[in-house]
Amino acid sequence: MSKKQISELQQERLKFKPALPAIFKNGPSQAVAKLGAPTKSISDEETVKKLFPGTYGMPIVSFVRGKKHCCFQKGCKGSRGPFRRTGAGRS
């Protein structure tokens, strides 16, 4: 679709510039993922668990200042750090 054929809605979407969280203002190398409490639903726990089997119960992630694990640096030969693939988004 050429630029002349972009809908008015899409033109507005292209104008959006998301705000960068302060923790990332000096680059991602100074932010470390901090794992918190497991996620849970307020109600219908079993239904939500069935709808999101790969992510339900995963910890809440927030970012704090600190040094990254070596596996987030170029050339690291170790594991992939503290994160694991959950299957979310896979077909």
Question: What is the pLDDT averaged over residues 23-41?
Answer: 88
Higher pLDDT, 59 or 20: 59
| 3 state SS of 30 | helix
Is residue 45 in a domain?
A: yes
Higher pLDDT, 6 or 76: 6
- Mean pLDDT, the chain, rounded, equals 79
List, for residues 64-84, the tens digit of each pLDDT value. 988 765 555 555 554 445 555
Q: What is the pLDDT of residue 14?
A: 94
Residue recorded with tokens 């994160």: 83
Is residue 6 in a domain?
A: no
Kindly report the pTM of this predicted structure: 0.50
Residues 6+ apart with CB under 8 A from 88: 52, 54, 55
Number of domains in the chain: 1
Is residue 15 in a domain?
A: no
| Token code pair at residue 44 | 């219908």
